[in-house]
Amino acid sequence: MHAIILVGGRGTRLQPLTDSRPKPMLPIIDVPFLEHQLRHLKSHGVEAVTFACGFLPNQIVGYFGEGARVGMQLTYVVEPEPLDTAGAIAFAARTLDPQRLLVCNGDVLTDLDVGRLIAEHEARGAVATIALTPVEDPTRYGLVRTDERHAVLAFLEKPTLEEAGDDRYINAGTYVLEPEVIAMVPEGVRCNIEREIFPALVGKRLHAIGFDGYWNDIGTFPSYLAANVDMLQGVFGPGGHEGNRYIAPDAVVAADATVGWGAVIGPKAVVESGAHVVKSVVLEHARVGVGARLDGVIVGEHGVVEDGVEPEPGSVVSPGVVGELAGS
């Protein structure tokens, strides 16, 4: 099975962390998010991936190359200009022979059963199948309504709780598409698959399958922090980390500093004497000053938390900017 992963966005909700790197290259614990995603896809039989790139593609290419790191065949296409989701998918797909494709957003950490999604798609003779995930508050998303055979009936964007009723399943950002779907996308213009292509397919062999399990869109500061904490605890991934914390082998932590539950200390980061770090991510080359206290904070690469400072929970210390808080 060949997959296309969408990695072209600017990651604006995660700025300033994403000013100098693509969102999918932000680390979850000790490797970029994309490495976790690729290994998950490989475990479900995906052997080849084409990245649909846009912003800073060389960082992705430089890290993964042709795929030896993950044991997969990797290729890359770069949009000449932003083409939106359907445009990006079609731009990448047209570099391949026509075939059934798995499509994934490059910012969703999930344990979705990809094999079952593909099997359901095939069994129902679908032209496109959307994976769905349940959420507690559907008002922030778009609900997907289906019949008893999982055929899509309607899309409901950001409904009120009254409009949603008992429905809680939203688009999970993973699709199986037949070549006919790619043929619907005009060449060289912006086109959105969620708002333009999928609605046009309602009643025309468009299906959607609900999955329970782990799902996290890492595109906001709280969800990015939660992804790290969840992986530390083994909520997602192969298992928990000792003490539910992670300290990179080349990080420097003072003997009397505290690095506690939910803390991630990245490569070459420094935690000074008397500092206290819990439920926080400290990225590479960052410094947590003497006596500083972090709880629910993200420190960007080369960022500095000054001595004695205690940022508010939810704060983000900008990369390479001493003591400046970006806010949540």
Domain 2-217, what architecture? Alpha-Beta Complex (3.90)
Q: Would you say 83 and 191 are in contact if contact means Cβ atoms under 8 Å apart?
A: yes
Tens digit of each residue's pLDDT (9 = 90 or more) over 310-319: 999 999 999 9
Tens digit of each residue's pLDDT (9 = 90 or more) over 57-76: 999 999 999 999 999 999 99
Between 168 and 295, the higher pLDDT residue: 295
Q: Would you say 114 and 122 are in contact if contact means Cβ atoms under 8 Å apart?
A: no
Average pLDDT over residues 12-17: 93
The torsion angles phi and psi of 252, rounded to 5 degrees, stand at -120, 115
Does residue 325 carry a pLDDT above 50? no
Average pLDDT over residues 3-14: 93
The fraction of the chain above a pLDDT of 70, given in percent, is 97
Does residue 268 carry a pLDDT above 90? yes
Does residue 124 carry a pLDDT above 70? yes
Average pLDDT over residues 265-273: 98
Separation CA 207–CA 190 (nearest Å): 24
Whole-number pLDDT of residue 239 = 62
Does residue 116 carry a pLDDT above 80? yes
Q: Which of 18, 32, 81 is nearest to 53 (CA)?
A: 81
Does residue 236 carry a pLDDT above 90? no
Number of Cβ within 10 Å of residue 130's Cβ equals 31
Separation CA 29–CA 229 (nearest Å): 9
Instruction: Determine the straight-line distance between the first and last CA of the chain, rounded to whole angstroms.
Output: 39
Give CA torsion, residues 81, 82, 84, 85, to 10 deg: 80
Tens digit of each residue's pLDDT (9 = 90 or more) over 145-201: 999 899 999 998 877 788 788 888 999 999 999 999 999 999 989 999 999 999 999
Separation CA 282–CA 270 (nearest Å): 9
Q: Would you say 27 and 33 are in contact if contact means Cβ atoms under 8 Å apart?
A: yes
Q: Would you say 176 and 98 are in contact if contact means Cβ atoms under 8 Å apart?
A: no
The fraction of the chain above a pLDDT of 90, given in percent, is 84
Separation CA 158–CA 139 (nearest Å): 5
Whole-number pLDDT of residue 10 = 86
Sequence-separated contacts (24+) of 275-279 with Cβ below 8 Å? 279/225, 279/229
Tens digit of each residue's pLDDT (9 = 90 or more) over 245-259: 999 999 999 999 999
Number of Cβ within 10 Å of residue 109's Cβ equals 23
On average, the pLDDT of the chain sits at 92
Does residue 277 carry a pLDDT above 90? yes
Banded model confidence at residue 321, pLDDT cuts 50, 70, 90: low
**Would you say domain 241-317 falls under CATH 1.10.760.10?**
no
Does residue 324 carry a pLDDT above 70? no
Banded model confidence at residue 138, pLDDT cuts 50, 70, 90: confident
In order of 3, 75, 106, 115, 129, the CA distances from 47 in angstroms are 8, 12, 17, 13, 20
**Polymer length in residues for the chain:** 328
In the chain, where the domains are located: 2-217, 241-317
Report the interhelical angle of 57-64 vs 33-43 (nearest 10°).
50
